């Protein structure tokens, strides 16, 4: 497979560049006029033909550059693989669970080919690092390539605080990846970097919703057909006196019917989930019926020939994709030809788009409707009028989910956050008081001899209850997905985890739960802590305070590994008579944790060694040091602790 780069294409498209420069930067990138400019660029490049994936660089303004992609509609890219829907892992895009996102295999193959064998990556990096806004755009498969290019650039940004200046605009390719990818985009705050434009009757833009095996045969005849006649087919749209040079291939009606059927299945599942998010039947259906994994992210513009609607509500997108395709007067030719008709339809459609702000208030009848006339007209043109009651109910349900999410955030802020902060502050004071009394708060809590220890336990239980309510709200879509990326909540959750999890560990081993259930880290760690740790890992920008390198009269900040005490307790278990556990691995786990904390200056030394020689940490360190040979002592991070506090071995 060869490639065509900007060096060989740019001179052929000076006209396109001049048209693109009409967007002088005075309009937002996703405004109607800007979208029209990018449509002209990407669609003209798409219709130029070619046998291989290619790209074109175009100057939009003094501070904006666009890269347009032309993908190849290759039937082999829609053949069944190990995945029923032709998706492949995207190894460089993982969530907090270290799970790779999946994307369309054909788009990924063509993107990697261009990215790794042409000057595309070098040119895009150079423009971005030079301070320019970089826009990736493309029609059809080119839109899939554009999405992946934007994702790669966003994911590789080395300066988290730098304003995002990478954008993507696609035409006729609204879905690219699975739910994992969609969640990553939203949680990283990239939603505003993507805009997908879709014509209401374009069946190809929904083809990823159907299994590969169901659409393989009709695509084998249809895709070469569209490749042979892109210009003629596009000009036929809306024409009454132009005849097709070649009839649609056999199987076209089958493709439309198949895509419509599977679009219906995924839309109905999505709507049912929005209407009853806690219904266990939905989880059962998902496990029994394999539905398309592709899920939306970004902004969406759905157009008819007379205008369009805009929405940022990702809960509504799958329903709109189905219901705009499901119209009684639609014919097979229209469904097929619209995919190559963006350049013909959008110039007029984009002059009359409206934004759907609050779908939960969408009227179900004309009686008492106060919905704006312009929005009503555009919804009617797309087949989403009041006569389509299932569509309206579906959109209202999607709007209600988003509305409820927005309302739940201030409720947490006003009713729960203050309680959490108060309980945390009281445990912090307990921690400081213990240190002033000459004992670490871990050992004091484990011994539970004073009233303050019992008060700390009460606050521990209260905090567990509040966080055990908040975290499932995210899982059940009762809070926005970017809630867990909020720096305020990440900071609060991290502070809670670092402060309170050691108390949970102390309680676990004090009660001897390890003897029945096994080690804390293996079988006893509550999900709230693992989830909060994943939230921190996903955002990767929360600043951690650093402990002081010298001893002072009270601990400065918390040790940055909330599980350190679990490793210490497992070593303490080794010290018991007749213990036959794997000493080498347990010691290695503790040393690895200590070594990482020392390297990141995240070890609160003063707190660990607080108390007498019989404290948990001091006893374990002394035992380890006594049982190490000279060679082991020289390489062990325990030597760092001994060097700072030689009194531990006296």
Confidence (pLDDT) at 16: 41
Whole-angstrom distance, CA of residue 184 vs CA of residue 196: 17
CA 344 from centroid of its chain's CA atoms:
34
Is the Cβ–Cβ distance between 117 and 126 less than 8 Å?
A: no
Top mean-pLDDT range of 44-58, 118-132, 615-629: 118-132
Under DSSP, the state recorded for 50 is: -
Helix (H, G, I), strand (E, B) or coil at 412: helix
Burial of 336 (0-12, 13-18, 19+ CB in 10 A): buried
Residue for token pair 């193959």: 109
Q: What value does the mean pLDDT take over residues 201-218?
A: 88
In sequence order, the β-bridge partners of residue 56 are: 68
Confidence (pLDDT) at 181: 93
* Tokens representing residue 417 in the block: 């956050």
Q: Per residue in 17-40, pLDDT tens? A: 434 433 444 446 788 888 888 988
Burial of 2 (0-12, 13-18, 19+ CB in 10 A): exposed
Whole-angstrom distance, CA of residue 465 vs CA of residue 77: 49
Higher pLDDT among residues 444 and 13, named by residue: 444
Confidence (pLDDT) at 189: 83
Q: What value does the mean pLDDT take over residues 541-565?
A: 58
pLDDT above 70 as % of the chain: 82
Is the Cβ–Cβ distance between 265 and 291 less than 8 Å?
A: yes
* Tokens representing residue 134 in the block: 């970089």
Whole-angstrom distance, CA of residue 176 vs CA of residue 103: 6
pLDDT above 90 as % of the chain: 28
Confidence (pLDDT) at 368: 53
* Tokens representing residue 210 in the block: 């159907």
Confidence (pLDDT) at 55: 87
Confidence (pLDDT) at 547: 41
Lowest mean pLDDT among 66-75, 191-200, 309-318, 446-455: 66-75
Residue for token pair 């000057």: 119
Higher pLDDT among residues 262 and 613, named by residue: 262
Whole-angstrom distance, CA of residue 548 vs CA of residue 284: 52
Cβ neighbours, 10 Å, residue 494: 20
pLDDT for residue 229 is more than 80: no
Residue 601: φ, ψ to 5°: 55, 40
Give the residue from 349, 375, 356 showing the smallest Cα distance to 313: 356
pLDDT for residue 206 is more than 70: yes
Whole-angstrom distance, CA of residue 307 vs CA of residue 353: 5
pLDDT for residue 378 is more than 60: yes
- pLDDT band at 620; cut points 50, 70, 90: confident
Lowest mean pLDDT among 67-71, 225-229, 353-357: 225-229
Confidence (pLDDT) at 431: 92
pLDDT for residue 640 is more than 60: yes
Q: Per residue in 59-82, pLDDT tens? A: 888 888 999 998 877 777 766 566
Q: Per residue in 246-269, pLDDT tens? A: 677 777 888 888 899 999 988 888
Confidence (pLDDT) at 4: 46
Average pLDDT along the chain: 81
Whole-angstrom distance, CA of residue 306 vs CA of residue 374: 11
pLDDT for residue 524 is more than 50: yes
Confidence (pLDDT) at 82: 66
Helix (H, G, I), strand (E, B) or coil at 138: strand
Whole-angstrom distance, CA of residue 505 vs CA of residue 490: 22
- pLDDT band at 230; cut points 50, 70, 90: low
Helix (H, G, I), strand (E, B) or coil at 488: helix
Whole-angstrom distance, CA of residue 348 vs CA of residue 307: 7
Higher pLDDT among residues 456 and 237, named by residue: 456
Confidence (pLDDT) at 550: 36
pLDDT for residue 543 is more than 60: no
pLDDT for residue 413 is more than 50: yes
Higher pLDDT among residues 575 and 7, named by residue: 575
Higher pLDDT among residues 13 and 200, named by residue: 200
* Tokens representing residue 350 in the block: 């984009």
Whole-angstrom distance, CA of residue 241 vs CA of residue 262: 34
Residue 596 CB contacts under 8 Å (≥ 6 apart), including other chains: 561, 602
Q: Per residue in 105-149, pLDDT tens? A: 888 989 998 998 889 999 999 888 888 899 999 998 899 999 999
Confidence (pLDDT) at 13: 40
Q: Which helix (H) or strand (E) holds 94?
A: strand 87-94
pLDDT for residue 525 is more than 70: yes
* Long-range CB contacts (within 8 A, 24+) of 247-251: 248/222, 248/332, 248/333, 248/336, 249/218, 249/221, 249/222, 249/225, 250/221, 251/217, 251/218, 251/221, 251/222
> Which ranges of 156-279 would DSSP assign to H, the alpha helix?
179-187, 212-228, 230-236, 252-275
Confidence (pLDDT) at 9: 41
Confidence (pLDDT) at 612: 63
Q: At what angle do helices 487-510 and 451-475 cross, to 10 degrees?
A: 130
Higher pLDDT among residues 367 and 231, named by residue: 367
pLDDT for residue 549 is more than 70: no
What is the distance between the terminal CA atoms of the chain, rounded to a whole angstrom?
A: 72
Higher pLDDT among residues 237 and 79, named by residue: 79
Q: What value does the mean pLDDT take over residues 88-103?
A: 85
Radius of gyration of the chain (CA): 30
């Amino acid at each position: 497979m060869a490639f065509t780069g900007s060096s060989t294409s740019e001179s052929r498209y000076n006209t396109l560049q001049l048209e693109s420069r009409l967007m002088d930067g005075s309009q937002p990138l996703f405004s109607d006029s800007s979208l029209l400019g990018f449509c002209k660029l990407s669609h003209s490049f798409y219709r130029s033909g070619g046998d291989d994936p290619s790209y074109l660089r175009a100057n939009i303004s003094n501070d904006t550059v666009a890269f347009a992609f032309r993908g190849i509609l290759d039937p082999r890219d829609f053949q069944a693989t190990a995945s029923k829907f032709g998706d492949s892992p995207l190894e460089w895009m993982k969530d907090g669970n270290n799970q790779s996102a999946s994307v369309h295999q054909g788009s990924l193959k063509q993107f990697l080919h261009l990215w790794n064998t042409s000057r595309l990556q070098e040119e895009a990096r150079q423009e971005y690092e030079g301070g320019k806004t970089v826009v990736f755009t493309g029609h059809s498969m080119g839109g899939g390539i554009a999405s992946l290019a934007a994702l790669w650039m966003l994911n590789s940004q080395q300066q988290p605080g730098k304003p995002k200046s990478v954008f993507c605009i696609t035409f006729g390719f609204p879905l690219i990846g699975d739910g994992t990818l969609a969640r990553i985009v939203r949680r990283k705050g990239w939603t505003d970097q993507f805009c997908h434009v879709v014509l209401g009757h374009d069946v190809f833009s929904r083809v990823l919703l159907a299994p590969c095996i169901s659409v393989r045969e009709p695509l084998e005849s249809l895709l070469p057909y569209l490749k042979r006649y892109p210009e003629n087919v596009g000009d036929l749209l809306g024409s009454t006196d132009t005849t097709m040079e070649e009839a649609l291939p056999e199987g076209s009606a089958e493709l439309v019917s198949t895509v419509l059927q599977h679009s219906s299945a995924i839309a109905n599942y999505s709507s049912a989930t929005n209407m009853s998010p806690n219904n266990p039947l939905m989880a059962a259906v998902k496990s029994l019926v394999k539905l398309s994994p592709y899920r939306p992210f970004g902004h969406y513009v759905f157009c008819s020939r007379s205008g369009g609607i805009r929405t940022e509500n990702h809960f509504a997108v799958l329903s709109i994709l189905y219901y705009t395709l499901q119209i009684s007067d639609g014919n097979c030719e229209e469904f097929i030809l619209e995919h190559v008709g963006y350049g013909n339809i959008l110039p007029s459609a984009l002059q009359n788009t409206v934004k759907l702000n609050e779908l939960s208030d969408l009227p179900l009848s004309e009686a008492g409707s106060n919905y704006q006339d312009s929005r009503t007209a555009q919804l009617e043109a797309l087949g989403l009028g009041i006569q389509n009651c299932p569509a309206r109910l579906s959109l209202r349900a999607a709007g209600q989910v988003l509305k409820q999410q927005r309302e739940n955030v201030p409720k947490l802020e006003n009713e729960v956050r203050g309680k959490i902060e108060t309980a945390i502050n009281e445990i912090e004071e307990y921690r400081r008081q213990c240190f002033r009394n000459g004992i670490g708060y871990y050992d004091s809590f484990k011994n539970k001899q004073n009233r303050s220890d019992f008060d700390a336990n009460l606050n521990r239980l209260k905090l567990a209850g509040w966080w055990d309510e908040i975290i499932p709200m995210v899982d059940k879509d009762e809070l926005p997905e970017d809630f867990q990326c909020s720096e305020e909540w990440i900071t609060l959750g991290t502070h809670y985890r670092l402060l309170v999890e050691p108390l949970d560990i102390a309680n676990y081993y004090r009660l001897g739960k390890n003897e029945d259930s096994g080690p804390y880290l293996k079988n006893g760690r509550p999900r709230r802590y693992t989830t909060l740790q994943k939230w921190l890992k996903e955002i990767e920008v929360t600043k951690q305070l650093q402990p002081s390198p010298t001893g002072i009269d009270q601990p400065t900040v918390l040790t940055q590994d909330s599980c350190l005490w679990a490793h210490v307790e497992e070593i303490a278990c080794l010290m018991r008579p007749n213990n036959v556990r794997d000493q080498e691995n347990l010691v290695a786990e503790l040393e690895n944790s200590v070594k990482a904390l020392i390297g990141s200056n995240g070890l609160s030394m003063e707190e660990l060694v607080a108390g007498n020689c019989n404290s948990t940490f001091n006893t374990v360190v002394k035992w380890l040091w006594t049982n190490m040979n000279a060679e082991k002592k020289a390489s062990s991070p325990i030597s760092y602790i001994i060097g700072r506090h030689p009194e531990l071995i006296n």
